[in-house]
Every structure is written in C-alpha cells, then in structure tokens.
Amino acid sequence: MTTSSDCVFCKIVSGDIPALAILDTEHAYAFLDIAPLAEGHALLIPKDHIESLEQMPPEGLARLMRELPRLARAVASATAAEGYNVLQNNGRVAGQVVNHVHFHIIPRRSGDGLGYRWNAGVYPEGRAETLQARIREALH
C-alpha cells in the first residue's frame, strides 16, 4: 500500500489520527467528515495514497466504486435523507484541500440550504466543436 507520511487521510487509515470509521475493507475506507455540510456527511477514500482522480489506476477506482452504492444507501438511510450529493474535488481551484482522493457523500433534504452556484453558460458558435475535437484528441 502506498502511503504519505504528511497526509491526514493516510494517518486516519493507519490509526495515527482518530476518525469515526464507517467502512473498512482491504482497499477502501470511509469515515464521517469532521466538518460536515450535513449530518452523516461521509468520505470514501482508497487506502492507497493517490492525490487526484485521474492518477488512479482504473482497477483501483473500480474497486473503490464498488463500495459507493452501499455506502451511499447506508448514509442516506441512517440519516433519513431525501437524497444525497456525491462530490469529488480535484485541485485547489476545484476546492480540494486534502490531497488524497476522496468522495464526499452529503445527505440532502429539502430546505437544507445547501447549494452551489451553477452558472450555466452558452458556447459561442463553433466553440463546443473545437473543444470536442481537442478532448477527443487528448483521449488518444
């Protein structure tokens, strides 16, 4: 297992920092967020120290994702949530504070006041096609 000595989530996995664990498998760990956006706000992480999503080997991500539906179901059911958001931040600009891949599971209920600015834009003529071509090229 790869770990980083200065990573708070690696220290949680190793038990050096306490956390309220809710799931512990060979490759995955989940615990309650210390500063919850809602009651039951949980974090699902790989035990391996990997900083961001695109660095994860596909098999490792698949293993982690295998745990997500049952974890989301348990969090939602235990908190009697009406729904939930799964949030995954990569990079400071995207709000990532802890450089160890993690998926937030945030229980939601109507009127909870949580939200985000979703400033939907409009592409100028031809821009979407340019980006489509660039992204397709980058995939190869």
Residue closer to ligand AMP, measured from CB, 93 or 122: 93
Distances (CA, A) of 140 to 42, 133, 134, 136: 35, 11, 10, 7
Whether 102 is a known active-site residue: answer: yes
Nearer to ligand AMP, 17 or 78 (CB): 17
Pick the closest to residue 87 from 104, 99, 101 (CA basis): 104
Which of 41, 49, 100, 102 is catalytic? The answer is 102
- Is 35 a binder of ligand AMP (CB under 6 A)? yes
Asked if residues 86 and 67 have their Cβ atoms less than 8 Å apart, the reply is no
**Binding of residue 53 to ligand AMP (CB under 6 A):** no
Shortest Å distance, C-beta 136 to ligand AMP: 29
Q: Which is nearer to ligand AMP, 43 or 44 (CB)?
A: 43
Contact window for ligand AMP (CB under 6 A) among 48-56, 77-85, 91-99, 127-135: 91-99
Does 128 bind ligand AMP (CB under 6 A)? Our answer is no
Q: How far is the CB of 3 from ligand AMP (least distance, A)?
A: 16
Q: Which residues are catalytic?
A: 102
Provide the binding-site residues for ligand AMP, judged by CB under 6 A.
8, 17, 19, 31, 33-35, 43, 89, 95-98
